[in-house]
Structure 1
Amino acid sequence: MQNNNDTYKTVLKPSKEILLKEKKSKFIGYVFPITTEKDIKPIIENLRKKHHTANHVCYAWQLGVTQPIYRANDDGEPNNSAGMPIYGQIKSFNITNVLVAIVRIFGGTKLGVGGLISAYRNSAEIALKEATIVEKIILDTYKVSFNYKEIDKVMRIIKQHQLKINVQKMEMKCSIQFSVRQKDSEKVESIFKTHHEITIRKMNS
């Protein structure tokens, strides 16, 4: 299915840590950009090492654009009192490819489930406000193959549609990999397909 809205919001870089105090408990918030699930475990492990006296490192993350996946982790806090309030802020800021982690250092006074929900939600909100949120464009990648004599024709199409060349191989048999905005990809693909001497193949989906 063609996605006409081919942009999404994410965070540019890891944010500065933020601190929220609630009844002597400290809630330390972080925001990280991520690209795969494999990014998450090392980040959480590093936070546990950095805050070795922490009682909990709770977090939530989301990955993907058209069919995003997410997880929320309470890390020993009462069920749904930490991870889901954090995830709620990820949804509220409408961002993806992001991990929000809140480290809690217990201050001796229990907050109750309602107090925990509020503290984790507020910490996540403050952390996300401190983060640098950027808009990114979703790109599709294609490969065109052709004989060298067709080079002018191919380059003219690339120039007309401002396509970004990623890789090119110029010999008797040539190939070019290029990126195009997702909302323009079907149009560009159809233009290349009108030239039977040029073959085009989508590299990602």
Structure 2
Amino acid sequence: MNDTFNTIKSAATGLHREKGSRFLSFIYPVEDEAAVQEMLLRLKKTYYDASHHCYAYILGKHMDVYRANDDGEPHHSAGDPILGQLRSNALTNCLIVVVRYFGGTKLGKGGLVQAYKTAAAAAISAGEIITSTLTKAIVISFEYEAMGTVMPLLNRDEFKIVNQDFAEGCRITLECRENLYPDLKSILEGIPAVVILT
């Protein structure tokens, strides 16, 4: 199971000019559709006088949530080329918005496709692509007497202790790569003193 995905580290911007039109491109890391809508509203408010606010996004580790929007441009001439750039760079949890200021010369559908594609690529190039790792947490508890048995098994590079509470017994929250979770759970289930809480 693959537990990594490519995304953008932080927001970045690009610019493309074509026959008097300006295409300002913005890429953002986003976690969900609410974040997408928030960024769209912010850009539409900032660039209220623009001709178009075309966008595309992909969400999820399997890149299975996506949308492209032409915002009044000819069908499939803006959103799809933007989406194509996200896909060709295997990026997920990303939103690209291209804000167009019309320059007076019509570009034709082919010209629009190329302009939106180039603008989206400029935003991606301006950003930093990173590989993120999916993690999963597990919470366990055990009595103090079992600490000598449990702790050596948990102090491994693959597992990260993210929280410890020793007020009443021992309660530890561990985190590991998603694809190592079955191994961690198996190790913990093999220790009679350990109770898996989540």
Answer with 54-63 or 157-166: which moved more. 157-166
Instruction: Tell me, in whole angstroms, the C-alpha distance in 2 between the residues paired with 1:26 and 1:114.
Output: 17
Choose which of 125, 128, 143 in structure 2 pairs with 1:129.
Answer: 125
Instruction: Tell me, in whole angstroms, the C-alpha distance in 1 between the residues paired with 2:3 and 2:161.
Output: 19
Q: Please, which runs of 5 or more residues in structure 1 have no aligned partner?
A: none
**Partner amino acid, structure 2, of 1:92:** S
How far off its partner does 1:162 sit? 4.2
How far off its partner does 1:167 sit? 2.1
Normalised to the residue count of structure 2, the TM-score between the two structures is: 0.93
Matched, 1:54 2:50: yes
Matched, 1:160 2:156: yes
* Partner SS state of residue 52, structure 1: coil
Q: Which residue number corresponds to residue 10 of structure 2?
A: 13
How far off its partner does 1:154 sit? 2.2
Choose which of 88, 92, 96 in structure 2 pairs with 1:92.
Answer: 88
Normalised to the residue count of structure 1, the TM-score between the two structures is: 0.90
User: How many pairs align?
Assistant: 198
**Partner amino acid, structure 2, of 1:191:** I
Q: Structure 1 148/67 Cα, relative in aligned 2: closer, same or farther at 3 Å?
A: farther
Choose which of 72, 87, 111 in structure 1 pairs with 2:68.
Answer: 72
* Partner SS state of residue 160, structure 1: coil
Matched, 1:111 2:110: no
Structure 1 runs of 4+ off > 6 angstroms?
none
Q: Which residue number corresponds to residue 150 of structure 1?
A: 146
Q: CA RMSD in A?
A: 1.5
Q: Which residue number corresponds to residue 177 of structure 2?
A: 181
Q: Please, which runs of 5 or more residues in structure 2 have no aligned partner?
A: none
